[in-house]
Amino acid sequence: MANGRPAALWGLVAAHAAAAGRRAAVADVCAVVVSSARAGGGWVAAASGRAPDFVICVTDLVSEQLAEVQLMLGEGPCHDVLATAAPVLAADLGDEPSNGRWPAFTPEARQLGAAAVYAFPLVIGAIRAGVMGLYRSSPGPLSGPQFADCLLLADTATILLLDGLGDRAGPAAGGDGRRARPAGQPPELAAHRAEIDQATGMLTVQLGVGVTEAFARLRAYAYTHDRRLADVAADIVARRLHLHPDTTQDGGR
């Protein structure tokens, strides 16, 4: 089933970033997903725990209001996707299930001009980075290929968001300058490997850190040693490689 779609989508994100004269960021993913899904607009919000917390980027005024109104009401598709770690595809906000599910959000959203809302969790297992939302001004489902693109771009947004959170956290959060990170590379999540998740779990114990930080350290190690993430993960799972809280001591055990 392998295909070149993840790379093609990453190309679009990178081109959008280059046109804006910057390194690829969540805002570039947002712009690409809106175009790919033929949406009216989109937004990305970062998560704090199990709820969306603050808006990272929006593509238009309606998106901004849709994102903000959910934070204000504490209700809506973006809350649901973080609770269940599954997408919510509300193809028609005028239907009964939508009204019953979000009694406060639905009328507000329709008043803002949204007829359909699609929300995607930016998660990797227990890692919750945030949520990506899209709206359309007329009802209707996403097509199969559009849905697939949304999932792939949500993966990309997840990685960029996690990297961005690391940047903002600064030295206090362990960003000591040696923690170089991949830049300008497509995320490697398209080819899923159980070892990456298992290694992430193992590193929470080896390093005494949370799962988000453990995943960051795994990626940083792969990047600084110029190795594939899946290969590093396989070495950790096979206990051929052991990481230490102090990165200078990383290596075999």
Output the smallest distance, CB 235 to another protein, in A.
13
Neighbouring residues of 16: CB distance < 8 A, sequence distance ≥ 6 = 24, 28, 31, 32
In the set 35, 204, 224, 247, which binds another protein (CB under 8 A)? 204
The tokens describing 228, both together, are: 């594939």
Nearest to another protein of 19, 86 (CB atom): 86
Output the smallest distance, CB 92 to another protein, in A.
9
Q: CB neighbours (10 Å) of residue 145?
A: 11
Output the smallest distance, CB 90 to another protein, in A.
8
In the set 48, 84, 111, 137, which binds another protein (CB under 8 A)? 84
Name the phi and psi angles at 47, rounded to 5.
Answer: -100, 150
Nearest to another protein of 163, 195 (CB atom): 195
The CB-based long-range contact list for 46-52 (8 Å cut-off, 24+ gap) reads 46/129, 46/130, 46/161, 46/165, 47/82, 47/122, 47/128, 47/129, 47/130, 47/131, 49/128, 50/82, 50/83, 50/128, 51/79, 51/82, 52/78, 52/79, 52/82, 52/130, 52/131
CA distance between the termini of the chain: 37
Interface mask (CB under 8 A) for another protein, residues 125-154, using x and -? xx--------------x--x--xx--xx--
Site of tokens 């599954």: 86
In the set 30, 31, 55, 202, which binds another protein (CB under 8 A)? 202
**200 binds another protein per the rule CB under 8 A:** yes
In the set 197, 213, 219, 221, which binds another protein (CB under 8 A)? 197
Neighbouring residues of 212: CB distance < 8 A, sequence distance ≥ 6 = 127, 129, 162, 165
**89 binds another protein per the rule CB under 8 A:** yes
Output the smallest distance, CB 21 to another protein, in A.
30
Interface mask (CB under 8 A) for another protein, residues 208-227, using x and -? --xx----------------
Output the smallest distance, CB 46 to another protein, in A.
17
Give the chain's radius of gyration (CA, Å).
19
Grouping H, G, I as helix, E, B as strand and the rest as coil, residue 228 is coil
Whether residue 70 contacts residue 76, with contact meaning beta carbons closer than 8 Å, is answered with: yes
In the set 58, 117, 124, 220, which binds another protein (CB under 8 A)? 124
Output the smallest distance, CB 241 to another protein, in A.
12
- Interface residues with another protein (CB under 8 A) are 1-3, 5-6, 84-89, 91, 97, 121, 123-126, 141, 144, 147-148, 151-152, 155, 190-194, 197-206, 210-211, 237
